Structure 1
Amino acid sequence: MIERKKELGRDRVSRLVSWGHWFALFNGFLAMIVGVRFLDSVGTPDSWIGWGYLTLSTIGHFSFLAFIVYLVMVFPVTLLLPYSKILRGYAAVVATLSLCILLYDTVIYDDYGLHLSPFVFDIAWEDLNALLQGTSYIVTPIGILILELTAANFLWKRIDKIQKINCGNKVVAFVGICFVSSHLIHIWADAAEVYEITRFDDTYPLSYPATAKTFMESQGVERIASNNSVLPQPTLSYPKSPLQCRITEQPNMLFITVESFRADMLDEHTMPFLYQYGQQNQRFNEHLSGGNTFDSGMFSLLYALQGSYINAEDLNYTSPLFTQQLKQQGYQLGLFGPEADPRPAAIFNDFDAIISPDNESMAETDIISTKRFIKWQQQQNQPWFALVNLKSPENFDTPVGFLGIETVRPNKPLRPAEKVLFNQYRQSLNFIDGQIKSILAKVPADTLVIITGVNGKLFSSNHAESSSNYSPQNVQVPLIISWPGYEKAKDVDYRTSHYGIVPAVMTQLMNCTNPAKEYSAGRSILSPNSETWTYVGNNRMFAIYQQNEITVIDRHGKYRIYNRDYDKRLKKKIGAPELIQVMREGRRLYNN
């Protein structure tokens, strides 16, 4: 008798487990239907290979998520309370909550471009009224719960018939093949740079596709070049409407950008020429780069967009509107500097690239870039725009035999190794000062000259430390402008950023009548901004500069808040209103 009861108990549990698997599969199917809403934000594939990958990924990913929810939330209850009525009701509630969270995540992703996390939830809670409109947030959960209860009862009544069909192993094998295949395809796509596949990397929540890039690079295997010449459909409205610009006087324009150029190091002893030049022209004392690396800094300068757009696929074949307009207006565009592999890939497409050889000494490369620019501009017989990029300070480099300046004590205490780099950095800046002097000595007086840093610099040779540091030393850079026909000597003490340089030039010198918001972040260096924040960084990690604090946020929503000097971490929660504006600005130009 006791054995019979144990056997019946085991059978009941076995039937409940079997029912649970099919119920999880059903919810995986529902999750796939909900998951389609994510494509409204990122757009659908444009080729059969994209559709094939997305189909496999969708089936594998959401089936896997549904099984994980079952395994964690329902399976233990099956063993503890093996009663079908209780389990069916409980499982239906769990499934309803899970699908509602997934639905809410689609709303959050569409509005902010991020998936739910504790950080994003805090922000979304403050913006709940704007996100949830109407009565759908009440009706939808009730409808889902009714559907789940109906499905739970339907499957339970027919579980014996389903078991007799004996197709469970085939279904599991099919889902498993989809899951594994999607990851194998992604490994290939990541190595071959097939953007039609890799652009969906962050589309689904809790999705971490397998990659081969790190392994391949560690083994010395080169990445495979993609032969896909078909351009995907645009996902950005860049610009929002066609630009209306007409350059009348067509002044020559020169941008001199210096990599790793700290604002607090521009003084009369280290860079006497540039310091004096700044005194005679417009000098911006609170200027921030758009990032702490070459890519994000140059992106914010030329595209005038915040770094959250840097990974937009459109921009790999769409050059900055600024350079497009100059080219259309008959300007000759020249790019001078060392070889670069920038993001986005199209950022320099409008330029005639005059690349300096990659010598062992970056200072020697900068000397060659300077000479080539001087020769090039003297040969021009039409309006020109030149971008001269100097890189020596990035490597603390100076040419052999350079005498430089005497060493000094740093204003702030530094570690012994930092003291050495501090003075070597000053030598490099002093060398760059001479190169800038040589360049400007040959430039016509009526040229628009903009001199700035691409990014700041830490006194460290650790790249990982520098790329994750958003202190003022690493992002605050000099900005000096000589405007033809405008007031010369003037100090600007309100905060400005790289995003505001191109809109100022396009409005004042190129006579573009479009509102700046239609083709940029909408800021101009010529007047204070109404926003109380400035975005610095890229789409994976960024900082929000506010009046008295700096908030650093990574792609997983983890954040740290520092004081304005970045030397003390503050124990406080993140402020919602500014972050909501930041998230919306990062989605504003995407097509709906």
Structure 2
Amino acid sequence: MVERQKQIGRDRVSRLVSWGHWFAFYNGLLAIIVGYRYLDTVGFPESIVGWSYLALSTIGHFSFLAFMVYLVLIFPITLLLPYSKILRGYAAVVATLSLCMLLYDTIIYDDYGLHLSPFVFDLAWADLNGLLQGTSYIITPIGILAIELTLANYLWKRIEKIRKRNYGNKVVGVVGLCFIASHLIHIWGDAADVTEITQFDDAYPLSYPATARSFMESYGIENTHEDQGQTRPKTSLKYPLSPMQCMADDKPNILFIAIDSLQAKLVDNKTMPFLTTYANNNQSFQKHLSGGNQFSSGMFSLLYGLQGSYMNAIDLHYESPVLTQELAASGYQLGLFTSVDTLARPQAIFDDFERVDSHYDDSYASSDIRSVENWQTWTQASTQPWFTLLNLKSPDSYDTPIGFLGVKTVKADKSLKSAEKVLFNQYRQSLNFIDSQLKKILTDLPDNTLVVITGVSGKVFTSNPTEARVNLSPDNVQVPMVIHWPKQSAHKRINYRTTHNALVPTLMTQVLGCTNPTADFSAGSSLMQPSDRTWVYTGDNRIFAIYQQSEITTIDRHGKYRIYDREYKKRLRKKMSAPELIEVMREGRRFYIH
């Protein structure tokens, strides 16, 4: 008798477990329906490859999320309280809360571009009235609960028929295959930089697609997107917001020198005497911040004038910067002079340039010398007004030419480690070499040449690329910004805070005569006047920092944040400033079509 009761109990638990699995599966399908809202924000693929990946990824990911909710919150209750009525009601409530949370996440993602996390929840709570409008946030949970209760009872009444048909293994096999296949496809898509795959990397919550970029590149699978004939997707980004109205009267030549890894505080009389004197005789911005701490994010902010959250926008892989478009339309000849291995995002960033690459043979210093020679030859042969972007790269790798005799070694800061002190002095040698190249370039320029000299990003002394990528300290983002206006001898030191995003509005208004509001095409305002914003965004869409008056807040793509003092020396135990961060998130979605 006792054995029979145990058997009945085991059968009941087995039936409940089977019911729970099917309940989780159908909730995965409901989650897919709710998750469709993410695609309205991200955009849809156009190719068969993109749609195939999206279908596999969506089925695998949301089925996995639904099963995790079941495994963590429902399965233990099945063993503790194996009573169908209790379990069905409890499971319906859990599923309702989970779907409501997913629905709320779609709203937040559409508005902020981030998924729910403690940081984002605090932010959204302060902005609740702006996010939730009308009475749908009351009616919708009631409707979802009704659907869940109906589904729970429907499955319970038919669970025996479903079990007899033995569909379970087939469903698990299909879902498992979708999950594994989507990650394998993403490994290839990430290594080959197939944007119709990688654009969905951050679209779904708790999504961590597998990558193997270095492994795939070692086998020569790289940049295959260029040969795949991808079609441009339907536009989800409106850039610029209104047609540009520009009429350039005077057309000076424009020399734009962008130096990789140029730390502002090391531009001094001992290390870079020529640039220091040149800055003192021209317009010099003393508190200038790059738009990022890496080449891609820094260059993106310089040419697009947008904050780094737009850097991976699929539309911009097909849309060159408005600045270079208008320069070309005004009759400028555009030339890019850099190393042959220079890659940047988005893919269209250099589309308007005639690219003149110098061969890289294990020495960026030698490559920089050739870039300068190529620039001199090209500009002397040009018969039109020109806009040239000269990218010098030596400081990023601490490189100098063989036999170069630079500056004397000095005592490094005590806060640096032993290895960092060696890098510090080698970095100074590289800067001194760049200073000699600047002297060669700027000594004999035509009078009608506008010159812009800046760093793409700053520099921290480490050989660890991961450490450099996540470091958003002033050393890594504060750079010089020097502008020489043709036929003007006035020099001025600007002491208000400026950013790379402001260069595009400056050139568009001062040189090209554009009359559009700067908000139509940029996240910045002109360098010629202080910004009315109390914050500066620097970084990309994966990790970024918000520089405010007295603190720096760093945030990663999962919403984990830390707050530091203005020198980035001390971590502060305080809450974030919600109003400014809400402005940041809104700016990061402003150019998207809703």
With over 3 angstroms needed to count, the CA separation of the structure-2 counterparts of 1:78 and 1:589, relative to structure 1, is same
Per-residue Cα deviation, 1:178-209 (whole angstroms, up to 9, x for no partner): 32333333333334433222222221112222
Given that residues 191 and 214 in structure 2 are in contact (C-alpha distance below 8 angstroms), is that contact kept between their aligned partners in structure 1? no
1:447 deviation in Å?
Answer: 1.2
Query: Any gaps of 5 or more consecutive residues in structure 1?
Result: none
Given that residues 192 and 221 in structure 2 are in contact (C-alpha distance below 8 angstroms), is that contact kept between their aligned partners in structure 1? no
> Where does residue 223 of structure 1 map in the other structure?
222
With 143-152 and 497-506 compared, the bigger mean Cα shift is at: 143-152
With 321-330 and 48-57 compared, the bigger mean Cα shift is at: 48-57
1:533 is the counterpart of 2:535: yes
> Where does residue 500 of structure 1 map in the other structure?
502
> Where does residue 51 of structure 1 map in the other structure?
51
Given that residues 286 and 493 in structure 1 are in contact (C-alpha distance below 8 angstroms), is that contact kept between their aligned partners in structure 2? yes
The amino acid across from 1:338 in the alignment is: S
1:195 is the counterpart of 2:201: no
> Where does residue 109 of structure 1 map in the other structure?
109
Alignment partners' CA distance in 2, 1:286 and 1:292 = 16
SS for the counterpart of 1:570 is: coil
The amino acid across from 2:9 in the alignment is: G
Alignment partners' CA distance in 1, 2:221 and 2:45 = 27
1:35 is the counterpart of 2:64: no
> Where does residue 442 of structure 1 map in the other structure?
444
The total of aligned residue pairs comes to: 591
1:384 is the counterpart of 2:386: yes
Alignment partners' CA distance in 1, 2:356 and 2:538 = 29
1:42 deviation in Å?
Answer: 0.9
Given that residues 289 and 475 in structure 1 are in contact (C-alpha distance below 8 angstroms), is that contact kept between their aligned partners in structure 2? yes
Normalization by structure 2: what TM-score? Answer: 0.95
The amino acid across from 1:270 in the alignment is: T
With over 3 angstroms needed to count, the CA separation of the structure-2 counterparts of 1:461 and 1:184, relative to structure 1, is closer
In the TM superposition, 1:312-391 aligns within 5 A as 312-339=313-340, 340-391=342-393
Percent identity over paired residues: 64
Alignment partners' CA distance in 2, 1:52 and 1:375 = 49
Alignment partners' CA distance in 1, 2:382 and 2:42 = 44
Per-residue Cα deviation, 1:300-350 (whole angstroms, up to 9, x for no partner): 111111111111122222211111111111111111222211112221121
Alignment partners' CA distance in 1, 2:183 and 2:418 = 47
1:166 deviation in Å?
Answer: 3.2
Alignment partners' CA distance in 1, 2:405 and 2:42 = 55
1:578 deviation in Å?
Answer: 1.5
Given that residues 500 and 525 in structure 1 are in contact (C-alpha distance below 8 angstroms), is that contact kept between their aligned partners in structure 2? yes
1:220 deviation in Å?
Answer: 4.2
> Where does residue 139 of structure 1 map in the other structure?
139
With over 3 angstroms needed to count, the CA separation of the structure-2 counterparts of 1:389 and 1:101, relative to structure 1, is same
With 537-546 and 8-17 compared, the bigger mean Cα shift is at: 8-17
Per-residue Cα deviation, 1:494-518 (whole angstroms, up to 9, x for no partner): 0000000110110111111111111
Alignment partners' CA distance in 2, 1:440 and 1:169 = 72
With over 3 angstroms needed to count, the CA separation of the structure-2 counterparts of 1:70 and 1:282, relative to structure 1, is same
With over 3 angstroms needed to count, the CA separation of the structure-2 counterparts of 1:452 and 1:223, relative to structure 1, is closer
SS for the counterpart of 2:224 is: coil
Query: Any gaps of 5 or more consecutive residues in structure 2?
Result: none
Alignment partners' CA distance in 2, 1:18 and 1:405 = 75
With over 3 angstroms needed to count, the CA separation of the structure-2 counterparts of 1:562 and 1:443, relative to structure 1, is same
SS for the counterpart of 2:516 is: coil
1:221 deviation in Å?
Answer: 4.6
> Where does residue 411 of structure 2 map in the other structure?
409
The amino acid across from 2:534 in the alignment is: T
1:591 deviation in Å?
Answer: 2.1
The amino acid across from 2:326 in the alignment is: Q
Per-residue Cα deviation, 1:350-380 (whole angstroms, up to 9, x for no partner): 1111212213332222222222222222222
> Where does residue 457 of structure 2 map in the other structure?
455
With over 3 angstroms needed to count, the CA separation of the structure-2 counterparts of 1:182 and 1:473, relative to structure 1, is closer
Given that residues 291 and 307 in structure 2 are in contact (C-alpha distance below 8 angstroms), is that contact kept between their aligned partners in structure 1? yes
> Where does residue 251 of structure 2 map in the other structure?
250
SS for the counterpart of 2:255 is: strand
Given that residues 449 and 482 in structure 1 are in contact (C-alpha distance below 8 angstroms), is that contact kept between their aligned partners in structure 2? yes
Per-residue Cα deviation, 1:380-415 (whole angstroms, up to 9, x for no partner): 221111111112222222223333233333466543
Alignment partners' CA distance in 2, 1:198 and 1:394 = 27
With over 3 angstroms needed to count, the CA separation of the structure-2 counterparts of 1:157 and 1:303, relative to structure 1, is same
Per-residue Cα deviation, 1:98-151 (whole angstroms, up to 9, x for no partner): 111010011011111111111211111111111111111111111111121122
Alignment partners' CA distance in 2, 1:360 and 1:182 = 37
With over 3 angstroms needed to count, the CA separation of the structure-2 counterparts of 1:165 and 1:479, relative to structure 1, is same
SS for the counterpart of 2:580 is: helix
Indicate which of 425, 428, 432 corresponds to 2:427. Answer: 425
Alignment partners' CA distance in 2, 1:165 and 1:353 = 64
Given that residues 482 and 488 in structure 1 are in contact (C-alpha distance below 8 angstroms), is that contact kept between their aligned partners in structure 2? no
In the TM superposition, 1:477-556 aligns within 5 A as 477-484=479-486, 488-556=490-558
The amino acid across from 2:560 in the alignment is: K
> Where does residue 206 of structure 2 map in the other structure?
206
SS for the counterpart of 1:493 is: strand
Alignment partners' CA distance in 1, 2:6 and 2:422 = 78
Given that residues 188 and 216 in structure 2 are in contact (C-alpha distance below 8 angstroms), is that contact kept between their aligned partners in structure 1? no
1:267 is the counterpart of 2:284: no
The amino acid across from 2:258 in the alignment is: T
SS for the counterpart of 2:331 is: coil
> Where does residue 125 of structure 1 map in the other structure?
125
Alignment partners' CA distance in 2, 1:87 and 1:278 = 73
> Where does residue 302 of structure 1 map in the other structure?
303
With 557-566 and 374-383 compared, the bigger mean Cα shift is at: 374-383
> Where does residue 574 of structure 1 map in the other structure?
576
> Where does residue 161 of structure 2 map in the other structure?
161
Alignment partners' CA distance in 1, 2:560 and 2:208 = 17
Given that residues 453 and 481 in structure 2 are in contact (C-alpha distance below 8 angstroms), is that contact kept between their aligned partners in structure 1? yes
Per-residue Cα deviation, 1:233-271 (whole angstroms, up to 9, x for no partner): 222111111111111111111111111111111122222
With over 3 angstroms needed to count, the CA separation of the structure-2 counterparts of 1:135 and 1:481, relative to structure 1, is same
Alignment partners' CA distance in 2, 1:178 and 1:125 = 36
With over 3 angstroms needed to count, the CA separation of the structure-2 counterparts of 1:70 and 1:401, relative to structure 1, is closer
1:523 deviation in Å?
Answer: 2.1
Per-residue Cα deviation, 1:452-502 (whole angstroms, up to 9, x for no partner): 111111233332222221111111111111123557211110000000011
Alignment partners' CA distance in 1, 2:577 and 2:389 = 38
The amino acid across from 1:304 in the alignment is: G
SS for the counterpart of 1:158 is: helix
1:36 deviation in Å?
Answer: 0.9
SS for the counterpart of 2:262 is: coil
With 248-257 and 57-66 compared, the bigger mean Cα shift is at: 57-66
